[in-house]
Amino acid sequence: MERKCYIWIMNADGSNPKQITKHDGVDVHPRWSPDGKKIVFQSNRSGNRDIWIVNTDGSGLRQITNNPGPDMTPYWSPDGKKIVFSSMRNGSEGLDLWSADLNILLREHQRTPEVIKGFIDVDNGKLYYEEAGSGDIIFLIHDGAIHCEIYNHQFLEFAKNYRVIRYDRRGYGKSPEPEKEHSIIEDVNSLFKTLNIEKAAVIGMSMGGGLAIDFALEYPDKVTSLILVGAVVSGFSYSNHMYTRGGHMDPELYQHPDRLREYLFEKDPYEIYPENREAKQYVKKLIDENPHNINFDKHALNKGPWRAALGFLNEIKASTLIIAGEYDIPDVHAHAGAIEAGIPNAKRIIIKNSGHLVPVEQPEEFNKRVLEFLKDIK
């Protein structure tokens, strides 16, 4: 039977135990940093016994040694700047003591942030999620057609400076189809609770943007800022132009997922700007691997918000950036205008040469604008 051991913390009287590490493997010999903000420990999660550190809230997991020989039993120096540990490096037949400057170790092992993956239980179901990085939190909500991999160009890039979390909504990507009535707002809240997210900058695309707005209204203290990409808002209706995609599509296709999928990602002039051929192929691959995404019957089981957001946007106090693609469908631009008018001090920008799926069509410009916004409001 595979051994597993995790790091936990609790009060000295045994109350309030909290699991800090979750990855399968054996995590042992934890020690607090002198400032009480980090924990250093030994783990075999990389396939070898190495030294790792993690923040006390479970974020910021980093591997700091990666040597063929085992590195074990780490301790902090009194000033928190060095780590001393036992090792069988350099062909040693026994354990020797080593010490290293923590900052040098971190620079030497600067690499793509480790991605933690898993499922969490929610009301009448479960959700797949991924997280990476450390620091202030960015929470990503995908659109109504593509699962969380729509943010592949952002996830690890943002994780260089932030703790970034993304998930598949019910019936998308790796998350199972819903079988009973549920609330997608409470799904987000469950993720916040389970992953120890006190507050976050929330990025939502399209329908995911509408969900981000509804969540911000329901749980205002949990949202530090909103970034709404091609977002729609509950309470603001759609035109016939939207349903027919400007007269290019028979609405009957909504009842035929396979044909709808083919239309949206091969023929529609708004979903992806036709000149962005590389993005079109990229998105087509994602949807071909997850054809169940385009089955909108799943939404019938969502309870929806208890009030339409449109009339209450002025209650949102979080700093808000609204992003729309230059060639997105007119209804989306109308929703963007309504959101900008409703949320106090909201800022709206247009990304050129993009349709609806801005993060994959113009990822460099999108990332730049988002990171600048987050830096400015901080």
CATH number of the CATH domain containing 207: 3.40.50.1820
Q: Are residues 233 and 273 in the same domain?
A: yes
Burial 61-89 (b: 16+ CB within 10 A, else e): bbbbbeeebbbbbbebeeebebbebbbbe
Instruction: Supply the mean pLDDT for the chain.
Output: 90
| 70, pLDDT greater than 80 | yes
Range with the poorest average pLDDT among 27-41, 196-210, 219-233? 27-41
Work out the number of other CB atoms within 10 angstroms of the CB of residue 198.
10
| 196, pLDDT greater than 80 | yes
Q: Are residues 174 and 33 in the same domain?
A: no
Report CA torsion sign: 168, 171, 174, 175.
positive
| 369, pLDDT greater than 90 | yes
Kindly state the DSSP code that residue 363 receives in the 8-state scheme: H
Q: Backbone phi, then psi, for 149, in 5-degree steps?
A: -70, -5
Residue 125 lies inside a defined structural domain of this protein: yes
Domain of 31, CATH number, reads 2.120.10.30
| 135, pLDDT greater than 90 | no
Work out the number of other CB atoms within 10 angstroms of the CB of residue 272.
27
Q: What is the DSSP string of 204-250?
A: EETHHHHHHHHHHHH-GGGEEEEEEES---TT----HHHHTTTTTS-
108, 142, 173 - which closes a domain: 108
Work out the number of other CB atoms within 10 angstroms of the CB of residue 276.
20
Write out pLDDT tens, residues 288-337: 999 999 988 888 889 989 899 999 999 999 999 999 999 999 999 999 99
Cβ-contact 39, 1 below 8 angstroms: no
Kindly state the DSSP code that residue 309 receives in the 8-state scheme: G
Here the tokens at position 17 are 């135990």
**How far apart (Å, rounded) are the C-alpha atoms in residues 122 and 135?**
25
| 345, pLDDT greater than 70 | yes
Q: Are residues 58 and 91 in the same domain?
A: yes
Q: Are residues 159 and 234 in the same domain?
A: yes
In the chain, what is the straight-line distance between the N-terminal and C-terminal CA atoms, in Å? 48
Q: Are residues 232 and 172 in the same domain?
A: yes
Q: What value does the mean pLDDT take over residues 134-151?
A: 95
Q: Are residues 184 and 230 in the same domain?
A: yes
**How far apart (Å, rounded) are the C-alpha atoms in residues 290 and 283?**
11
Q: Are residues 20 and 144 in the same domain?
A: no
The residue with tokens 């509804």 is 214
Q: Are residues 179 and 318 in the same domain?
A: yes
**Helix 184-194 and helix 207-218, axial crossing angle in degrees, nearest 10:** 70
**How far apart (Å, rounded) are the C-alpha atoms in residues 228 and 278?**
24
* Number of domains into which the chain is organized: 2
| 107, pLDDT greater than 60 | no
Give the global pTM.
Answer: 0.73
**Nearest residue to 242 via CA among 265, 219, 270:** 270
79, 108, 137 - which closes a domain: 108
Number of H helices, E strands in the chain: 10, 17
pLDDT at 108: 52
pLDDT at 62: 80
Q: Give the pLDDT band (50/70/90) at residue 376.
A: very high
Note down the domain range covering 15: 8-108
SS3 127: strand
**Nearest residue to 7 via CA among 47, 42, 49:** 42
108, 137, 160 - which closes a domain: 108
pLDDT at 1: 42
Q: What value does the mean pLDDT take over residues 145-159?
A: 94
Residue 320 lies inside a defined structural domain of this protein: yes
Cβ-contact 89, 96 below 8 angstroms: yes
Residue 312 lies inside a defined structural domain of this protein: yes
